[in-house]
């Protein structure tokens, strides 16, 4: 058979045109925009990061607050930083569920048949979710203020607390991404995530001072990264020195990313 050109020039350039932004990042941002538009278009997807944490805070402050701390106001002061962390940690589990859903609808097949980095769709989904986490955090803090939470911490310390929370959520969402690649079924991802997150958040210093816990549990609480992160966020929002706990929290996040990000990407590549 004879035709005209050999080999034909592809419609899409072989060598990416010279641009300042590396292509993986650029494609990731395009996909992140998709994720954000998606969230805006389906506000029900925001419930887990808006209404749910608000209800959580109300329940804890007014149901348990008096019993744990003597009065609701003192408990609010103690619990808010932890609930802020818990909210964002739970929201990061939503990343896995969303990815499992995307993988099932076939849209990731389309992305994978495009000449883009295979990590770009994952990066895009996670970047869009970081916006969700931030939204959740801001709502949480604003609602805490409405309930009477006050802090003397500098704006810089508040920002640092947010940074710490986001870093922790970013690290965890790689765990849930890897989980979504293995488990596949969105509902199972959701169930498993809750099973992992409940003990991690409750067996920690998020909701109560740990002094009354049995010794073996205190041992777990002490090594639970959620505790260290909650302590660090609490210290930052109290305007207290947070150095040690913050360092441990950041280190944990870094270690989790180093392990689970490559694992998630590898599992995603291998997925058929």
Among 200, 170, 174, residue whose Cα is nearest residue 268:
174
Smaller CB separation from another protein, 111 or 220: 111
Q: Please name which of 161, 134, 147, 151 lies closest in space to residue 65, comparing C-alpha atoms.
A: 147
**110 or 150, CB closer to another protein?**
110
Nearer to another protein, 150 or 271 (CB): 271
Tell me how far, at minimum, the Cβ of 29 lies from another protein, in Å: 9
Least spacing, CB of residue 123 vs another protein, in Å:
12
User: Under a CB-based contact definition with an 8 Å cutoff, are residues 158 and 134 in contact?
Assistant: no
Nearer to another protein among residue 19 and residue 216 (C-beta)? 19
CA angle, 46 as apex, 40 and 50 as ends, to 5°? 130
Helix (H, G, I), strand (E, B) or coil at 19: coil
> Least distance (Å) from another protein to the CB of residue 210?
43
Q: With beta carbons less than 8 A apart as the criterion, state whether 92 and 140 touch.
A: no
Cβ of residue 244: shortest distance to another protein, in angstroms? 44
Handedness of CA 127, 17, 107, 119 (dihedral sign): negative
Nearer to another protein, 16 or 70 (CB): 16
Minimum distance of another protein from residue 266's CB (angstroms): 14
Q: What are phi and psi of 206, to 5 degrees?
A: -70, -50
CA 46, chain centre distance (Å):
14
Q: Which residues bind another protein (CB under 8 A)?
A: 1-3, 5-8, 10-14, 16-17, 23, 27, 30-31, 33-34, 37-38, 41-42, 105-107, 109-116, 120, 272
- Least distance in Å: CB of 121 to another protein? 9
Nearer to another protein, 69 or 103 (CB): 103
CA distance 272 to 269: 8
Residues 176 and 193: their CA atoms lie apart, in Å, by: 7
Distance CA 186, CA 199 (A): 21
């Amino acid at each position: 058979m004879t035709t005209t050109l050999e080999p034909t020039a592809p419609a899409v350039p072989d060598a990416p045109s010279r641009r300042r932004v590396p292509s993986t990042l650029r494609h990731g941002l395009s996909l992140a925009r998709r994720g954000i538009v998606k969230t805006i278009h389906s506000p029900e997807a925001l419930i887990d990061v808006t209404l749910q944490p608000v209800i959580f805070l109300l329940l804890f402050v007014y149901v348990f607050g008096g019993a744990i701390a003597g009065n609701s106001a003192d408990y609010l002061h103690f619990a808010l930083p932890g609930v802020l962390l818990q909210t964002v940690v739970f929201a990061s589990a939503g990343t896995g569920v969303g990815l499992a859903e995307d993988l099932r609808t076939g849209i990731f097949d389309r992305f994978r048949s495009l000449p883009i980095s295979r990590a770009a769709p994952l990066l895009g989904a996670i970047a869009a979710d970081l916006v969700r986490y931030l939204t959740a955090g801001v709502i949480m803090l604003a609602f805490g203020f409405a309930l009477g939470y006050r802090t003397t911490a500098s704006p810089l310390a508040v920002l640092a607390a947010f940074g710490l929370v986001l870093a922790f959520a970013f690290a965890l969402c790689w765990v849930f991404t890897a989980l979504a690649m293995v488990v596949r079924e969105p509902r199972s991802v959701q169930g498993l995530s809750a099973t992992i997150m409940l003990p991690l958040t409750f067996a920690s210093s998020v909701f109560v001072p740990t002094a009354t816990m049995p010794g073996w549990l205190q041992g777990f609480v002490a090594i639970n990264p959620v505790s260290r992160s909650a302590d660090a966020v609490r210290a930052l929002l109290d305007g207290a020195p947070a150095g040690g706990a913050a360092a441990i929290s950041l280190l944990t996040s870094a270690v989790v990313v180093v392990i689970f990000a490559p694992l998630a990407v590898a599992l995603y590549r291998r997925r058929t």
